[in-house]
Amino acid sequence: MTGSHPAPALRVGLIGAGVMGRAHARAWAALPGALVAMYVPDEAARTLARQYGLPECERLEDLFGRVDAVDLCTPTATHLPLTLAAASAGCHVICEKPAALTLEDAVGMRDACEHAGVRLFVAHVLRFFPQYRAARERVVAGEIGSPRVLRLSRVSTPPTPGSWLLDEAQSGGVPLDLMLHDLDYARWIAGEVQSVYAVQSRQAEKVMVQATLSHVGGAVSLIEGGWAAPAGVFRTSLDLAGTSGAIEWNSDLAPGLRRHREALSEQANEQEGAALPPLEGDPYADELHHAHHALQHGLPFLVTPDDAVAAVSLGLAVQQSLACGQAVTPRRVPAAGMRA
C-alpha cells in the first residue's frame, strides 16, 4: 500500500540571545511551530524565550532532548564545542557564520556532523539577499558572459564598544566576520580562488580591509570591507563585469539591480542600464526556512558544509596576507566524504 504522509514537524531549539539570536528568533516566528525551545543560561536568554513563549531549558542536554535541530547564534569560538555536543546528541546543526576561527575547527564541525549522521547548515545569509541572489541567477544564465572582474563592498559602523566582535581573537575581525560575506559570494560567482592579497588601514577603532582574489578560472575579485562608517551607516554594493555585460547594485540607490550589456540591437540600446523591478524578502527568514525545509525533506542546502569550510579558508588567507604583506594561497581540504 502506498500513500503520501506529511513529514513530521522538525523541531528547532535556539542557543544564543545576542543580536543574531534575536534576529533568528524573529525569523523563526514567521514559521509557526518550528522554534520550540531555548537554552537559557542567563537573564538575556530568559527574556528572549519569554518574549516568544518558548520553553526554557537550563541545561543543553534538556534542549537536545526536546528538538531535532539546534540553531547556534553564539560567539564564533563556541561553535565547535556546541556542534560536537549537538551532533553527539543526534541533533542537526544550523550555525551562524563563520563556522569557526580555524580551518581545523570548521572541518571538525563538518566531519563530526557527517560521522553522527546529522546535517550542518552554516548561515551565509548573503546568498539569500534578493539582490545578490538575483545577480547570481543572471550570471548563471549567461547574461554577462564569463565573469571577469567582481567588485564587492561592505562597510559598517564599528561594533559597539565592549562587543566581543572587537576582540579579534574571538571574532576574527573584519576578514572572518564582515568580509566573509563577500569572500563567500565571490567564490559562489567565480569559483575557487588560487591566491589572495590583502592590505588594511586602521585609525583608532576603525579598520578597512581591501582584498584581491585571483580565481582559478581567470576572474579577479576586488573586495573591500570595514568597520569604518559613521554611526548608523551600513553600505554594500556589487559590480559584476563579464565578457558581454555587467550587473551592479548599491544599497544607497534604488533597490533594483542594474544590468548593462553590449548594444546588439536598437532594443538593447533602449534597455541599457534599465533598473530591474524591486526585489523583496527577508533574507534571515528565507535562509532559516530554507534550512528547515531541506532538513525536513532531505533536500540539498544552498550552502554546503564544504562551502562554509572554504569561506573560513578565504578569511584566514586574508588574515595571513595582512600579516605577511604578500599574496598567499588559501588552504584547501578534501571535500566531505573524500578523506583518505
Q: What is the CATH number of the domain that holds 105?
A: 3.40.50.720
Q: Are residues 184 and 251 in the same domain?
A: yes
Q: Are strands 245-250 and 258-261 parallel, antiparallel or unpaired?
A: antiparallel
Q: Say what the pLDDT of residue 267 is.
A: 40
Pick from 263, 282, 301: which residue ends a domain?
Answer: 282
What residues make up the domain containing 141? 127-282
pLDDT the model gives residue 252: 86
Q: pLDDT at position 269, please?
A: 37
Q: Residue length, the chain? A: 340
Looking only at Cα atoms, what is the longest distance across the chain? Answer: 70
Q: Is residue 73 part of a domain?
A: yes
Query: d(Cα 89, Cα 340) in Å, to the nearest integer?
Result: 27
pLDDT of 334? 87
Give the C-alpha separation, 134 to 115, whole Å.
35
The reply to whether 161 and 96 lie within a common domain is no
**Whole-angstrom distance, CA of residue 338 vs CA of residue 114:** 12
Which residues of the chain have a pLDDT value below 50?
Answer: 1-3, 263-277, 340
Q: Residue 133 is inside which H or E element, if any? A: helix 130-140
pTM over 0.85: yes
Residue 150 sits in the same domain as residue 36: no
Span 164-222, pLDDT tens digits: 888 888 999 999 999 999 999 999 999 999 999 999 999 988 999 999 999 999 999 99
Give the per-residue pLDDT at 82: 98
Q: What are phi and psi of 258, to 5 degrees?
A: -115, 130
Considering the domain architecture, whether residues 241 and 163 belong to the same structural domain is answered as yes
DSSP summary character for residue 278: P
Spatial separation of the C-alpha atoms in residues 328 and 213, rounded to whole Å: 10
Percent helix / strand / coil, the chain, rounded to 5: 40, 25, 35
In the sheet that holds 234-242, the strands lie side by side as 193-203, 206-215, 220-227, 147-156, 234-242, 245-250, 258-261
Q: Check residue 337 and give left, alpha or beta (phi > 0: left; psi -120 to 50: alpha).
A: left
